[in-house]
Chain A
Amino acid sequence: MSAVSEVTARYLNLYNDNIDRINGISSPYINSFRQKAFEKFTELGVPTRKNEDYKYTNLNVFFDHDYRSLFMPVEADFAKADEFRCDVADLDAQGIVLLNGFYPTLNGKLHQFPNGVWIGSLNEAAVRFPDLVEKHYGKYAQTDKDGLVHLNTAMASDGVFIYVPEGVVVAQPVQVVNLVHAEEDIFNQHRNLIIVEKNAEFTLIICDHTLSPGKFLTNAVTEAYVGENSHFDLIRVQNEHNTACKITHTFIHQEKNSVASSNNLTLHGGLVRNSTYHNLGGERAESNSYGLFLGDKFQHIDNFVSVVHSSPNCTSNQLFKGVLDDVATGAFNGRILVRPDAQGTLAYQRNNNILLTDDAKMDTKPQLEIYADDVKCSHGATIGQLDDESLFYLQSRGINKREARVMLMFGFAHEVIQNIKIEALRERMDNLVMQRLRGELSRCASCMVKCG
């Protein structure tokens, strides 16, 4: 093993200094993963650009910094979280607000809703539903390459637990709003577990916001299990300020005949890295991985996708689109792995990017590993400017060049947004993207921080 880097050493120390406190507030089952994860993190460290999966992203800017780490929720914070209201009109959703990674405990730790769905604190769930948590926790977040997933397993003290029982079709989406609000620079990690049993339907919206202007680092892991014949949609809306770093790792495991989709909409953020892992673990499962990112100034947005076809006759689809302005940079890394038994696989991948300036930069890399014979795979990536002919077409109707450019960029982005099935959210996204493209603030009205 090579010597640990200075940056990694920071987090090893953080672990050693706080592990007793963390163990003290978390459930024994979740604690039982920590030591092994810590060893794995020690081995892998904070990813550097030598790691092929992080080739285009320099994490040191955010990881090599002194943060206050929160392992215990502060009651006063939850009052603040309670005041936060999402203002998306007509969005009929059950809302949960997490402040600095913690589930609000003011009104109890775990609730059952009339439709049978349980929502609450993961720690509490580990105590109340040990069978469920033991069956799924830590089973899908598997990686030999990304030390940050192990850092999360080693130290995250809580997060959201959602359980959708067999046969329950939840018409109303659940919205989790992740707020970061602190006087100091903070580092936070949270851990979510979502279980959607057989023949169920469920939509989860995760909104990432920053409410105060400090330097923030978030490293979040979400594990989702999608049972046989079930539908699961995950929509993540990211709107953080330029000194915030958001790292998410989402692992979606699918059983037979299930359909799952993930949609990462990055409107704003200093450094964003979304890793989305799809495992098609049962026959005839279908997965969709979508992403849209808009970057400007010094922002950097990196999407990493891994789709593993473990079973026959599954379909996967990746569509990621980005618009980069100023000196913003972006990366897309899309991996498709078709295992030997996964005959009849259909796997598609597309990544289209528009660079608005000569200094914006995009790196895109498809990775296909195919070990089965009966497979249909396609991938395509483009990096370009706005199409002159399309611009002229709009201008020839009397639309000025600036407006025509905004319309074209919007049309480009809309291809991703249109996959959102909830109308109110789709309209809000259209509006936010339009504002963002016009150079206006794209923050939601109830947000107090001016992004950018």
Chain B
Amino acid sequence: MLVIDNLKVAINGKNILKGISLKIRPGEIHAIMGPNGSGKSTLAAVLAGRELGVVTGGTVTYYGKNLLEMAAEDRAKEGIFLGFQYPIEIPGVSMVNFMKTAVNEHRKHKGLDPLSASDFLKLMREKKELVEIDSKLANRSVNEGFSGGEKKKNEIFQMAMLEPKLAILDETDSGLDIDALRIVANGVNKIKRADNSFIVITHYQRLLDYIVPDVVHVLYDGRIVKTAGKELALELEEKGYDWIKKEVENNILV
């Protein structure tokens, strides 16, 4: 579904992504790990359409289309979802209004009529239960005054509402206690089907105890320097990133 080929991105003249290649097929879960500042969040943002920097090379193809030419909202309607590392607070815009607008935009894109008010509220109720989000949150302004955990759960709730084909979760686990982590991970597992895919960006192995990846990549200094099965996450947890950094440096020397 998604083919990233030698993607290079610069922000303010500084090269952040230095040639990333990645292939994701329907139904796969890819974990991307790596030390701070390696370019993980930039990759997530660029895939979702945030105009952060300049693409200086490479291509991204999504279901045969050039993803980089699409506006953020069109990517969303084509099934890409970004779970934000730091979800944005939008005072004065209610969750209901926000989600109703988003869901109906998706429906319009698929040639469907907008949901009636009662059908929409029913859908909200179902999805809230699915991700175990406190029902009162839905009556408040988007993320306003939410705790860190509530914000992350709200991202999963939005994902459940929009049913993406490819969800990119950018450090959804950071700042979560173990209960919230479990709720978030269970939410992902319930949304997971045979034909939708996930890119899970994380620092820690613990999330991957719940969401089991098919492939683990290590991103370091703007490049994917290692790709292996889920056991790689365990190895990183045990040994840290230093050995990878050394390997990379040695390779460069070689």
Question: Which A residues fall within an 8 A CB radius of B?
Answer: 387, 389-390, 392-401, 403-404, 407-408, 410-415, 418
Most buried by A among B72, B88, B101: B72
Q: Which residues of A contact B91 (CB under 8 A)?
A: 411-412, 414-415
Whether A392 lies near B50 (C-beta < 8 A) is yes
Contact of A412 among B77, B92, B102, B142 (CB under 8 A): B92
Q: How far does the alpha carbon of A395 sit from the alpha carbon of B75 in the complex, in Å?
A: 9
Give residues of chain B (88-106) contacting chain A, Cβ–Cβ below 8 Å: 88, 90-93, 97-98, 101-102, 105-106
Additional 16 contacts, C-beta under 8 A, given A400-B71, A413-B92: A392-B72, A395-B72, A395-B73, A396-B49, A396-B72, A396-B75, A398-B76, A398-B105, A399-B101, A401-B71, A403-B101, A404-B73, A411-B90, A411-B93, A412-B91, A415-B91
> In this assembly, does B61 line the interface, its C-beta being within 8 Å of a C-beta of chain A?
no
Q: How far does the alpha carbon of A397 sit from the alpha carbon of B92 in the complex, in Å?
A: 18
Closest A residue to B75 by beta carbon equals A396
Q: How far does the alpha carbon of A254 sit from the alpha carbon of B198 in the complex, in Å?
A: 61
Q: Which residues of A contact B82 (CB under 8 A)?
A: 396
Q: Which residues of B contact A400 (CB under 8 A)?
A: 71, 73, 105
Known: A399-B101, A401-B73. A393 touches B49 (CB 8 A): no
Whether B162 lies near A398 (C-beta < 8 A) is yes
Q: How far does the alpha carbon of A15 sit from the alpha carbon of B88 in the complex, in Å?
A: 58
Q: Which residues of A contact B50 (CB under 8 A)?
A: 392, 396
18 A-B interface contacts by CB (under 8 A): A390-B88, A392-B49, A392-B50, A393-B142, A394-B102, A395-B72, A396-B49, A396-B81, A397-B73, A397-B162, A398-B73, A398-B76, A398-B102, A398-B106, A399-B98, A399-B102, A407-B93, A408-B93
Whether A395 lies near B93 (C-beta < 8 A) is no
- Interface class of chain A by DSSP: helix
Question: Binary interface profile of B, 42-82, with partner A (CB < 8 Å = 1, else 0)?
Answer: 00000011110000000000000000000111011100011
Q: How far does the alpha carbon of A394 sit from the alpha carbon of B73 in the complex, in Å?
A: 8
Known: A390-B90, A400-B105. A395 touches B97 (CB 8 A): no
Q: How far does the alpha carbon of A393 sit from the alpha carbon of B84 in the complex, in Å?
A: 8
Q: Shortest CB–CB separation between residue A398 and chain B, in angstroms?
A: 4
Q: How far does the alpha carbon of A414 sit from the alpha carbon of B91 in the complex, in Å?
A: 8
Q: How far does the alpha carbon of A395 sit from the alpha carbon of B102 in the complex, in Å?
A: 9
> In this assembly, does B172 line the interface, its C-beta being within 8 Å of a C-beta of chain A?
no
Q: Which residues of B contact A389 (CB under 8 A)?
A: 88
Contact of A395 among B76, B90, B98 (CB under 8 A): B76
Q: How far does the alpha carbon of A395 sit from the alpha carbon of B105 in the complex, in Å?
A: 11
Q: How far does the alpha carbon of A400 sit from the alpha carbon of B48 in the complex, in Å?
A: 14
Q: Which residues of B contact A411 (CB under 8 A)?
A: 90-93, 141
Q: How far does the alpha carbon of A414 sit from the alpha carbon of B144 in the complex, in Å?
A: 14
Q: How far does the alpha carbon of A397 sit from the alpha carbon of B102 in the complex, in Å?
A: 6
> In this assembly, does B114 line the interface, its C-beta being within 8 Å of a C-beta of chain A?
no
Whether B109 lies near A407 (C-beta < 8 A) is no
Whether A397 lies near B93 (C-beta < 8 A) is no
Closest A residue to B159 by beta carbon equals A397
